[in-house]
Amino acid sequence: MTTASPELAAEWAERMNPLPGHAVRAAVSTGLAEQLDTWTTLTSIHRAIDADPTAVRVLVEYLESLGLVEREGGTKLRLTPAGRLMLVSDPYGFAQHWHTNSFAHRIEAAFAQLEESVRTGTPCYELAHRTNLYRDLRPDSGHLAEAFSSAKSLTQHSARRLAEWIDIPEGSTITELGCGVGQYLCAVLSARPSLTGVGVDLPAVVAHAESDWATQDDVQGRIRGMACDIFEDVPTGADLYLLCNVLVDLPEQRATALLGRVARADDEVRLVVVELASDLAPPALVTHMNLHQFAMTGGRLRSSGELRAIGELAGFACVDETALGGGILALSLLSS
Ligand SMILES: C[S@@+](CC[C@H](N)C(=O)[O-])C[C@H]1O[C@@H](n2cnc3c(N)ncnc32)[C@H](O)[C@@H]1O
């Protein structure tokens, strides 16, 4: 049997994922995209275009995952700057923007390097774009809004559960490392008005997060950002550190080294780790996420046992744990 040529393999890859193009086409031709030109809701959209409510929700959520729709307060929706290009009558303008600027397309383009990545173990994203995925998020390109647009809606439930579970004295300070838009930190601060928070991330991400926090009345004045490379330096002085969905981006040595750095940040360190755990999440999601993480950052999902084990290797003892729902695990660790 002869194997397929690289050209044919590339064509297969293209055909296997025709969904983004069809989703954009459906959004434009049904008038759904036009409805999203200003803030609106799912109910207003399906009434205005006389469409099936479930299909409208599914399509809008898919466009959100492509970074074409953004959400505020859980229900208000509108097009992102990239999504607004769907309204431009020249479809090539949209295609050109999609191919040159959109973050979702940079991810798609990175997958073209999978063969080389499988051979060398270097993440596809680095092979394709010569930089780390997070350092590639450019503040002026809409990438940040695109990358973090779905974070809040996807983690709403688990963030609330975390806020109920976390045991911390009144008046404490929580520092979230690699916070993104800090939806877990915000949920805890929102539930506990005496707490203050520090969100640590790369400079462009912190600037984006701070503008987001400024619109949230329930945390305003109690949360601030700190630009810092957590692989170089972990800020001291937190009563509790939070590390949510950061280990999944990292291969073994880097994950253990980061946890070790956190364990040594102070004399006694309390750390809560939140991660999608491979033994709790649905198997199909685990398979998908593992390839996605390998290709994008070189990381992978870990089981509850593996997460506890790397914590222990880095100098922590696991004192408590809980499932937050949706396959997400929270571990409470104490430096020993
Ligand atoms: C998968 S996201 C998780 C974001 C957030 N904690 C959450 O649960 O949604 C990983 C985060 O780590 C941040 N990050 C990556 N490298 C970093 C570094 N060297 N220093 C600080 N933050 C970093 C990224 O910018 C990103 O916000």
Q: Block means of pLDDT (10 residues each) for the chain, length 336 residues?
A: 62 65 87 95 95 93 87 90 79 68 82 91 95 88 77 83 96 98 96 97 95 92 97 96 97 97 96 97 89 94 98 97 95 95
Pocket of ligand 1 (CB under 6 A): 134, 151, 178-180, 184, 201-202, 205, 229-231, 244-246, 249
Domain made up of 1-101: CATH architecture: Orthogonal Bundle (1.10)
Tell me which DSSP letter residue 208 carries.
H
Task: Give residue 331 CA to ligand 1 midpoint distance, Å.
Answer: 18
pTM (whole model) above 0.85: no
Q: In what order do the strands lie in the sheet with 270-276?
A: 223-227, 196-201, 173-177, 240-244, 270-276, 328-335, 316-325
Q: For the chain, how far is it from start to end, CA to CA, in angstroms?
A: 58
Tokens representing 124 are 């596809």
Q: How far apart are CA 298 and CA 121, in angstroms?
A: 8
Q: How far apart are CA 309 and CA 317, in angstroms?
A: 9
Nearest CA to ligand 1 atom 21: 201
Q: Burial-class residue 42 by CB neighbours within 10 Å (0-12, 13-18, 19+).
A: middle
pLDDT of residue 336: 81
Q: How far apart are CA 267 and CA 171, in angstroms?
A: 20
pLDDT of residue 199: 98
Task: Count CA atoms closer than 13 A to 103's CA, side-chain side.
Answer: 26
Beta-bridge partners for 277: 302
Q: Which of 137, 179, 185, 272 to mutate to test the pocket of ligand 1 (most atoms within 8 A of CB)?
A: 179
Task: Give residue 179 CA to ligand 1 midpoint distance, Å.
Answer: 6
Task: Give residue 157 CA to ligand 1 midpoint distance, Å.
Answer: 20
Q: How far apart are CA 268 and CA 2, in angstroms?
A: 61
What is the enclosing helix (H) or strand (E) of 255?
helix 252-263
Identify the CA nearest to 103 among candidates 153, 139, 137, 79.
Answer: 137
Domain residue ranges of the chain, discontinuous segments joined by +: 1-101, 151-335
Task: Give residue 80 CA to ligand 1 midpoint distance, Å.
Answer: 22
pLDDT of residue 228: 97
Q: Which of 230, 246, 254, 258 to mutate to test the pocket of ligand 1 (most atoms within 8 A of CB)?
A: 246
Nearest CA to ligand 1 atom 11: 178
Nearest CA to ligand 1 atom 13: 178
At 264, which amino acid appears?
A: R
pLDDT of residue 143: 80
Task: Give residue 206 CA to ligand 1 midpoint distance, Å.
Answer: 10
pLDDT of residue 104: 78
Q: Residue 168 region, left (φ>0) first, then alpha (ψ -120 to 50), else beta?
A: beta
Whole-Å CA distances, 237 to 148, 168, 173, 266, 315:
27, 15, 8, 7, 18
pLDDT of residue 6: 65
Tell whether domain 151-335 is in CATH 3.40.50.300. Answer: no
Task: Give residue 93 CA to ligand 1 midpoint distance, Å.
Answer: 32
**288-294, Cβ contacts within 8 angstroms, sequence gap of 24 or more:** 289/248, 293/248, 293/249, 294/117, 294/123
Nearest CA to ligand 1 atom 19: 229
pLDDT of residue 91: 65
pLDDT of residue 21: 80
Backbone angles phi, psi at 191, to 5 degrees: -80, -20
pLDDT of residue 257: 98
Tokens representing 292 are 């996605």
Nearest CA to ligand 1 atom 20: 229
What is the enclosing helix (H) or strand (E) of 243?
strand 240-244
